[in-house]
Structure 1
């Protein structure tokens, strides 16, 4: 049987479509392909994004902005010197982009103007930190990425 050029084009299209469908099915069934959202409640977090922008803008206008300093015992978050530590309450969130099982949150409780994140909690690599706190009715958000 002789195949003419029209039949060859149709067979080529069918072969190409089968090839693409094979890889789509293979990738969607593969357990190694992780299709999780970055955060569990992504859409709820998206609705509060304007409040985060406003809180970050308040931090950028501070005369003494917070600092993130690496020490021998871990990472130190240094709060503004002009704030009274006992009036600061909020939480620190550490996010590891490469592994969501390493993410953790803890509340802020200060006796002086700095907060230590212990060395044993941080693995080498990239981290994103969000420090959210309230002080005298104002909300502040300090966000930074660092490599430990």
Structure 2
């Protein structure tokens, strides 16, 4: 049997459809969660987020995050630690929401230790938020857990 142009077209379509089907199967197995559960509401309230970020800019250097041997330490300057209420600390992992970690830092505490058992190595967006005199403040920093 000779190989002619008709056979070539059939071979081309078989290879093409095999590639398309394997691509569809691969994409169905990928995680396609939205960034957050209330993505659309957050988009509608973006101007409020911009106000919070502008108001919080003075506290950006007051919070530091450091890798230590057996975990991560978040250090607050005394100006932030002594504010009237506690703070929410949120480790947001962009690659999967099941790895997010939410913690609470009591008023007056200048340091929070997070053990390696709670975090997975990789990139996180760490945000510290609090309320003061009916205003919300939030400082976010990108961080890599090692």
CA distance 1:13–1:74, change in 2 (3 Å): closer
Q: How many residues matched?
A: 142
Where does the alignment leave 5 or more consecutive residues of structure 1 unmatched?
none
After the TM superposition, which residues 20-99 of structure 1 pair with which residues of structure 2 at under 5 Å, given as runs?
20-30=19-29, 33-60=30-57, 62=58, 65-70=61-66, 72=68, 74-79=72-77, 81=79, 85-99=82-96
After the TM superposition, which residues 8-19 of structure 1 pair with which residues of structure 2 at under 5 Å, given as runs?
11=10, 14-15=13-14, 17-19=16-18
Query: Does 2:118 align with 1:131?
Result: no
Measure, in 1, the Cα distance between the counterparts of 2:3 and 2:67: 74
Structure 2 length-normalised TM: 0.70
Q: Per the alignment, in what secondary structure is the counterpart of residue 87 of structure 1?
A: coil
Once the two structures are TM-superposed, the CA of residue 133 in structure 1 deviates from its matched residue by 1.3
Assess if the C-alpha contact under 8 Å between 1:66 and 1:142 holds in 2.
no
Structure 1 length-normalised TM: 0.69
What value does the CA root-mean-square deviation take over the aligned residues?
3.3
Where does the alignment leave 5 or more consecutive residues of structure 2 unmatched?
none
Once the two structures are TM-superposed, the CA of residue 4 in structure 1 deviates from its matched residue by 8.1
Once the two structures are TM-superposed, the CA of residue 75 in structure 1 deviates from its matched residue by 1.4
Assess if the C-alpha contact under 8 Å between 2:63 and 2:77 holds in 1.
yes
